[in-house]
Structures are given as C-alpha cells and as structure tokens.
Structure 1
C-alpha cells in the first residue's frame, strides 16, 4: 500500500511514498534521529530517485529504495560523532540492523547496504541494482542538481513544496556533511567527501595517493 505525497494533479501521480509498516517505521526512526534538513533531504532523495528511475526505465523496489534513501545520511548525525568508519558505512550498517530486525530477506538487506555505502562513490552504482543506482542518482539530484532537467518543473515544484529545501540549503547541507565528518578526516579519502572538509577547514590537508605510493615500504 502506498500513500500519494500530494494531489494527483501535481505531476507526481505515479510516484508515491511507500506506506507499509516497514516504511512507516523507517520514516519515524529517521524523523526522530535526524534534523529536519536531513529528513527532508532523504525523502527528496527517494522521490528524485523514483522519478529518475521511472523516466529512465530502471526497475526498483519502492520500499527498498525508500528505506535506503531514508537511512543514507544517518551516519552524519550526532550518534556517530565517535565513529571512525566512513559515514556511509555507519549509515549502511544502521539500515542493515533495521531491516534485519524486521526479518527482511538477506539479499534485499545486502542491496540496501550497498546502495547506501556506495552513494558517494562515482562511476559504480549506476552499473548495479536499480536501488543502488537510484539512491546515488537521487542524492546527486538533490545536492548538486545532477539530472535536474530530466525532471519536469511541475514535478520539482511538487516535491519541494511538500519537502522544502529551505532558503539556504546548499550552505546548510555542506555544514551537515562537515559536522558529520570533521572528526574522521581520514575516512573522506577516495571520495569527494574531502571537498567538504577542505571547504570548511583551511588547515585540512588532502591525502595524496601518489605520495603514499612513492613513500611506501616498497621504496
């Protein structure tokens, strides 16, 4: 069973928020854990991903895509301020524990884990399961506007009306990423996440993989 997010005349008549017990529980957990900024962002990630999946003929399970989208940034919250894992892995582990507690099939758990863990790793998710590809696509659309023109103006307006971005979303989401990763700078290596630290902290030094290779024990 699904619940339309808005009236059927708003251009989203074929896209709905899943309304299963699993989806409702996930939404409540994230609402209780995350800021309004991250909750709305995560919900939009699902909606953009679903719209892009529909447009591009990518099949996906709405419930799995929704849970993956809702959990994908939970590792940025204050509960993980002592963690030394990548925030994506913290988020994926939280989703895995949640799904296992609801006795979800392990193959589906693995798909959701990968969708979250890989959502900041360019060039790989788009070649995997629909849910994995679409979490990254939805996040890219919401944060950086990737795929912006693939979604109609009417659809964009309907999503943002229901789940607002806020007046200063760009600066606020950068701050959220920075706060969630500044205590574990080493985990940003290998993704674009080090850009958030470099933007906010002039003293941050990026890891140079060439220097690592040249100065390795292999000499």
Structure 2
C-alpha cells in the first residue's frame, strides 16, 4: 500500500471539490480531509471493499465544510450543512439527483457512531477514516509505512486545536447535533492523545 498507487478521480466534481476545499479550509483542515480520503482508500483495500471512488473522494474533501464560517448553518448540524454544499457542487458537475443525495448521505453518516458497510460502503469508509484521523481508531489496520507517508505528505499542523475549537462552538450553538456527542465523547482529549500527532511514535512496537 503506497500513496503513489492512489490516484484522485479526474472528474469535474472531484476537481471542484478539491478547489472548494482548498479555498475555504485552513491548511490544517485541508490536510485533514486529504488524509481522510487516503485513510478511506486504505481501509477499502484492507477490508476488500469496492467503493464508488468519485463519490468517496468528493464526500471526503467536503465532509467538514459545515464548520467553515462561510458555510456554517445556524440550525443544521455541520455535517448536514456540508452535505448540502456537496449537493450543490455535484449538481453543477452534472450528477443525477439520486447521486447528489448520496454525497449528502455519506457526509452526514461520517458523524454516525457506526456505519454498516453493507448499508453504505462509502459512509462506512469515511466514518472509520475520520475516526482514525481524530483518535487513531483502527490505525493498526493500515501499514506503518503508509501512515508515515500520508503524514509526511499531509502533516497535521494545528488540527487538534482548530478542530476542537470548531466542534466545541458547534456543540454550544447546536446542542442537539452530533457535535455535542463528539465533545461529550472527549474529542479534545482524543485529538491530543492521538499517536498520529507524534509521527515518530509510529516506529515503536
């Protein structure tokens, strides 16, 4: 498993998703969504799943846009708001209605506690990929060399502080959303204690 073997889909929607993510995310959050896509592809290989690669890429790149000020919704959960951005973007790229809805579903479900792969392959992969990036959950499923390669290419920078602040803000303003569950579940601690924050630790047995 090597990054050089993983190629982003070359489609209008994929290019637009990267352009929007790059324009609106901080460097830390942009690297987070890029890593999330790569972790998802890694899990697809280890778990022998066959996702829709374009759908997974677009959803991964856009999954946290709802915490960005320009797309923050005063009532909707941030993952729901981000999902609606994905609907608009993919409509512009010519996706049919049912596939646009799938982009929204995958983004919303990445914040579920668990997604059955038989129910939603892409939602499952994005959920476990983002969980890995936030808390290092299931990281042992992916080769150490691959994890190091991804972290070298997309360093974590200030993700722990930035994501914690954003999710806490969401939880205060929208206490009935998944952000509240993430905060109550210790997202700040999980980020601080994530071994991926200390890449040198990956070499330890």
Q: Which TM-score band applies after superposition, normalised by the shorter structure?
A: 0.7 to 0.9
* 1:169 aligns to 2:156 (yes or no): no
Shift of 1:198: 9.6
Describe the SS at the equivalent of 1:185: coil
Task: Report what 2:2 is aligned to.
Answer: 11
Task: Report what 1:31 is aligned to.
Answer: 22
Task: Report what 1:144 is aligned to.
Answer: 135
Task: Report what 2:97 is aligned to.
Answer: 106
Shift of 1:76: 0.5
Q: Could you tell me whether the CA contact under 8 Å between 2:28 and 2:156 is conserved in 1?
A: yes
- The 5-angstrom pairing of residues 1-219 of structure 1 reads 11-166=2-157, 168-188=158-178, 192-195=181-184
Q: CA RMSD in A?
A: 2.4
> CA–CA distance in 2 between the matches of 1:42 and 1:181?
21
How many residues align structurally? 189
Shift of 1:195: 2.0
Normalised by the size of structure 1, how large is the TM-score? 0.77
Unaligned runs of 5+ residues in structure 1 are 1-9, 201-219
Shift of 1:165: 0.8
> Larger radius of gyration, structure 1 or 2?
1
Unaligned runs of 5+ residues in structure 2 are 190-205
